[in-house]
Chains A and B, each alone.
Chain A
Amino acid sequence: MPSSYEHFSYSNDRETYSAARVHALEALLIKKGVITGETVNKVLDYFKTEMGPFNGAKIVARRG
């Protein structure tokens, strides 16, 4: 039975708004000295290069 709410949809600018909002928040936090201009990039780089499934992959490769 299809839901009567199947035509519900979110506004098209939902993601655009959130992208602008988070960019504004990050810019203000840098300006106020909470974090630096590099903090978020460094956190994301850590998860991309130091901690993640590729570490496991490296260990498996070495053991093989």
Chain B
Amino acid sequence: MKLQHHLGGIENLGPVVFEKKVFVQPWEERIFGIHVAMMALSNHLDKAWPKYPIKEVPTTFKEFWTWGHLRMGAEAMQPFDYFRLRYYEKWLGGISSFFVEKGYITAQELDTQTAKYLANGKSNLDPLPKGGSPGIDTQVMRYLREGDSPKGQIAATPKFSVGMKVKVKDIPPVEHTRLPGHLRGKVGTIDTVYPDTYGYFFSTGPDGIGDPMPVYLVSFDPKDLWGAEKSEPNSTYYDDLFEAYLEAA
């Protein structure tokens, strides 16, 4: 099991922090922007919906990059590092390593440049280089406005209907899953059968998602998840789940 999938129900974390700021440090904006640009320039977008002329975009970036890739990186982390690092610190580490692994930059040049800025002092970072092909930004802005839809082009033929009891499968975790650990093996009730099919960015292999499939809103009795003592009375726990994660109970 990967600890990252089993966060629900962990005790001794203290009260929930209702931090409302999206970015708690100014630097976090920059890695968010880099990630968005990578998604907007991903090499799969000529097959996406809408189809983007991605091969003609004058970027040197030629990789497949989606939310799924970012999440897969976080799931691959040593669990203690996962807990030690803040949300955008994980992004910064994961994205930097990706560019190094793919050969766009070397670890040494990143370290050298970082050390140079650190020597300058916090308030004295050199200005960023200017310029670049405007066609890159045209694609990034178009992607922001038009997106990349996961909705399938096939009609749904759902296996389950409203009111049916379903059991969440306990598929051994591979590189990536969208199945929360605390639901594995639990029995819930189909609350809503969504009208369309939805795919995931890529196949997760034996985990079972990728191609468009029916998706359900499933309700669970919190007592079945957390036990009677830890559950709020008269409450219901809901989760949207891909059909591949469910079996008849």
Contacts and interface: CB of A to CB of B under 8 A. Distances in A.
Interface of A: 3, 13, 15-44, 46, 50-51
A16 B122 contact: yes
For B30, B32, B60, the residue with the greatest tally of chain A CB atoms inside 10 Å of its CB is: B30
Nearest to A37: B130
A16 B140 contact: no
Interface stretch (B105-113, B152-160, B209-217, B224-232): B105-113
B12 to A, nearest CB: 7
A27 B128 CA distance: 6
Contacts of A24: 110, 113-114, 116-117
27 contacts: A13-B118, A19-B27, A20-B114, A20-B117, A21-B96, A22-B27, A24-B114, A25-B92, A25-B95, A26-B34, A32-B60, A33-B60, A33-B133, A34-B59, A34-B61, A36-B131, A36-B132, A36-B133, A36-B137, A39-B33, A39-B37, A39-B137, A40-B30, A40-B37, A41-B33, A43-B36, A46-B144
Interface in B165-206: none
B140 A27 contact: no
Nearest to B59: A34
Interface residues of B, number: 49
| Interface residues of chain A: helix, strand, loop or mixed (majority) | helix
Given A33-B59, A38-B132, A39-B37, A25 B27 contact: no
For B31, B114, B122, B134, the residue with the greatest tally of chain A CB atoms inside 10 Å of its CB is: B114
B245 to A, nearest CB: 31
Nearest to B139: A39
Contacts of B105: 25, 28-29, 32
